[in-house]
C-alpha cells in the first residue's frame, strides 16, 4: 500500500532557504528522475518524523501530493544533522509503477532455537544480511527470511535458495552469494577423529 505524503512547492532554493525551512520545523526535500525537472518541496517536519518510525520505508511507494499534482516516488536518501540527528533533507526519486525497480532489503534468520544443525553443536554464520531484489514496487517485500529449522551442519543457503515473493527476482550477482551457513562437524565425525588418532598412536601388536 502506498504511503500518502503532502508537500508544498518550494519557491526558493539554496542554503538560506533550506535553513529557513528547518527553522520552521519543516524538512526541505526534492523529487527527481524519470527525465523530468527536479521539484523542490517542503514536508511537514512533525509528520515526517513520525513517518520515519515506520520500518522499511525505502521499499515503499510514496504518493506525494503537491499543488502541481501527485508524484509516485521512492525514498532514496535522508540527510541528518551531524550533532542533533535532526533530518535536514530528503531525496525522492520518481518511478513508473508499471516498471520494475531495484531495491536492497534486509535478510532475517528465523527458528534458530529449533535448528537441527545448531542443536547438534553447529555454528551459525550469517554472512550476508542484505539482498538486492528487482520487481514492481507493490510486490517488494520488507525483508527476506531464512528458516533455520531444517538446516543441519554443513548446509549453505545461497541466493538461489532464498524464498522470494511471486514476481520478485534476485538482483545482479546475488545468486551465488552464501547468505547463511551452519559450520562445524557432525557428532559422529567429532567422535571418530579422536578414535582414529588413538588407533594411529597405539603400538602395533606383534
| CATH annotation of 101-191 | 2.170.120.20
Q: What is the pLDDT along the chain (206 residues), one digit of tens a residue?
A: 799 999 999 987 778 888 899 999 999 999 999 999 999 999 999 999 999 999 899 999 999 999 999 999 999 999 999 999 999 999 999 999 999 999 999 999 999 999 999 999 999 999 999 999 999 999 999 999 999 999 999 999 999 999 999 999 999 999 999 999 999 988 776 555 454 445 555 565 55
> Quick check: pTM over 0.85?
no
Tell me the C-alpha distance between 97 and 115, whole Å.
39
Q: What is the pLDDT of residue 32?
A: 97
Of 1.20.1090.10, 2.40.240.10, 3.90.1570.30, 3.40.50.920, the CATH number of 3-94 is 2.40.240.10
- Tell me the domain boundaries of the chain: 3-94, 101-191
**Per-residue DSSP letter, 14:** S
Q: What is the pLDDT of residue 199?
A: 53
Is residue 41 within 8 A of residue 8, CB to CB? The reply is yes
Q: What is the pLDDT of residue 205?
A: 57
CB pairs under 8 A, 24+ apart, for 37-45? 39/9, 39/66, 39/68, 39/71, 40/9, 40/10, 40/13, 41/7, 41/8, 41/9, 41/10, 41/66, 42/7, 42/8, 42/9, 42/10, 43/5, 43/7, 43/90, 44/6, 45/87
Q: What is the pLDDT of residue 201?
A: 56
Q: What is the pLDDT of residue 200?
A: 54
| Phi, psi (rounded to 5 degrees) for 99 | -115, 145
Q: What is the pLDDT of residue 100?
A: 97
| Phi, psi (rounded to 5 degrees) for 125 | -120, 100
Amino acid at each position: 500500500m502506498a504511503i500518502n505524503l503532502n508537500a508544498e512547492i518550494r519557491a526558493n532554493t539554496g542554503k538560506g532557504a533550506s535553513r529557513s525551512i528547518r527553522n520552521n520545523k519543516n524538512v526541505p526535500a526534492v523529487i527527481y528522475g524519470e527525465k523530468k525537472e527536479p521539484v523542490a518541496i517542503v514536508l511537514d517536519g512533525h509528520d515526517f518524523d513520525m513517518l520515519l518510525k515506520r520500518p522499511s520505508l525505502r521499499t515503499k511507494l510514496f504518493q506525494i501530493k503537491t499543488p502541481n499534482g501527485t508524484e509516485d516516488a521512492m525514498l532514496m536518501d535522508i540527510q541528518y544533522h551531524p550533532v542533533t540527528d535532526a533530518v535536514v533533507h530528503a531525496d525522492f526519486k520518481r518511478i513508473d509503477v508499471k516498471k520494475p525497480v531495484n531495491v536492497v532489503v534486509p535478510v532475517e534468520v528465523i527458528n534458530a532455537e529449533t535448528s537441527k544443525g545448531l542443536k547438534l553443536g553447529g555454528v551459525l554464520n550469517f554472512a550476508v544480511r542484505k539482498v538486492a531484489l528487482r520487481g514492481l514496487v507493490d510486490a517488494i517485500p520488507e525483508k527476506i527470511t531464512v528458516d533455520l529449522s531444517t538446516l543441519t551442519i554443513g548446509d549453505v543457503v545461497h541466493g538461489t535458495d532464498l524464498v522470494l515473493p511471486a514476481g520478485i527476482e534476485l538482483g545482479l550477482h546475488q545468486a551465488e552469494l552464501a547468505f547463511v551457513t551452519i559450520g562445524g562437524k557432525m557428532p559422529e565425525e567429532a567422535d571418530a577423529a579422536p578414535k582414529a588418532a588413538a588407533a594411529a598412536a597405539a603400538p602395533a601388536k606383534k
